[in-house]
């Protein structure tokens, strides 16, 4: 397990990274990639959407171009402070501090659950994916963006030491174990040679 697949360490990491997050993030996860992933969802303005690991609100902002309201959840108070600084507390985003592995929402609360760039920090990704499925209505959608496993051995060793990087086979296992029966993977990249994202768009089974 990578050093940052630990909730307390990840919180400390984001205490410092939150200061520069919006400046460094675009090198690996930019607006074009985000908007391409959002386009997979076919959102309607009145859809109930949850953004898990919303961070400073980069994806939240993109989601708000399509829907009237978003719920944003993150375990880092420092990341949430930045997000609240952008959207305020009376705006279209309802923020809450919480853990992806124990979502503080009732079953079937959302039409769409989105999470970008957060799964790699979750110590028990299958537990969190199960949570995403639980709070999404039957027939709804769950979209997870994570880091694709690098091809070169030297980067593989580094990746494994830091956090969860995974390939399509591993994603298949995780989504299957979390109770999904239908999904598709899309590999995304900001430019040739830069780190790739694995974006999985899953349907929540109808009852």
Ligand X SMILES: C[S@@+](CC[C@H](N)C(=O)[O-])C[C@H]1O[C@@H](n2cnc3c(N)ncnc32)[C@H](O)[C@@H]1O
Contacts to ligand X by CB under 6 A: 7, 10, 14, 25, 29, 53-55, 58-59, 74-76, 79, 99-101, 116-118, 121-122
CB of 91 to ligand X, least distance (A): 17
Question: Is the Cβ of residue 32 or residue 181 nearer to ligand X in the bound state?
Answer: 32
Least distance (Å) between residue 133 CB and ligand X: 16
* Nearer Cβ to ligand X (119/204): 119
- Give the 3-state DSSP-derived string for 135-194, with helices as H, strands as E and coil as C: HEEEEEEEEEEEEECCCCHHHHHHHHHHCCCECHHHHHHHHHHCCCCEEEEEEEECCCCC
- Minimum CB separation of residue 143 from ligand X in Å reads 11
Query: Which residue, 48 or 60, has its beta carbon nearer to ligand X?
Result: 60
Neighbours of 169 (CB within 10 A): 9
Among residues 95 and 122, whose Cβ is nearest to ligand X? Answer: 122
Q: Tell me whether residue 54 or residue 93 sits nearer to ligand X (CB atom).
A: 54
Least distance between ligand X and beta carbon 97 (Å): 8
Q: In which region does residue 66 sit, left (phi positive, over 0), alpha (psi from -120 to 50) or beta (all else)?
A: alpha
CB of 196 to ligand X, least distance (A): 15
Q: Which is nearer to ligand X, 101 or 108 (CB)?
A: 101
Comparing every residue's Cβ against ligand X, the nearest one is: 55
* Minimum CB distance to ligand X, residue 170 (Å): 18
Helix (H) or strand (E) holding 156: helix 153-162
CB atoms within 10 A of CB 127: 15
Q: Which residues touch 117 (CB under 8 Å, ≥6 apart)? A: 25, 29, 53, 55, 145, 146, 147, 197
């Amino acid at each position: 397990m990578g050093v940052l697949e630990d909730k307390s360490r990840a919180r400390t990491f984001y205490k410092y990274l939150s200061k520069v997050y919006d400046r460094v993030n675009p090198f690996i996860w930019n607006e074009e990639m985000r908007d391409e992933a959002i386009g997979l969802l076919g959102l309607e303005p009145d859809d109930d959407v949850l953004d898990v690991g919303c961070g400073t609100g980069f994806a939240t902002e993109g989601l708000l171009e399509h829907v009237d309201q978003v719920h944003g959840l993150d375990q880092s108070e420092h990341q949430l402070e930045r997000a609240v600084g952008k959207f305020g507390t009376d705006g279209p985003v309802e923020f809450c501090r919480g853990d992806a592995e124990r979502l503080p929402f009732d079953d079937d609360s959302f039409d769409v659950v989105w999470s970008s760039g957060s799964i790699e920090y979750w110590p028990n990704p299958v537990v969190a994916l199960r949570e995403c499925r639980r709070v999404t209505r039957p027939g709804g959608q769950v979209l997870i963006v994570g880091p694709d496993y690098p091809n070169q051995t030297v980067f593989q060793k580094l990746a494994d030491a830091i956090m969860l990087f995974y390939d399509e086979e591993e994603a298949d296992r995780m989504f299957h174990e979390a109770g999904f029966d239908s999904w598709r993977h899309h590999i995304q990249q900001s430019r040739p040679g830069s780190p790739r994202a694995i974006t999985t768009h899953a349907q929540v089974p109808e009852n």
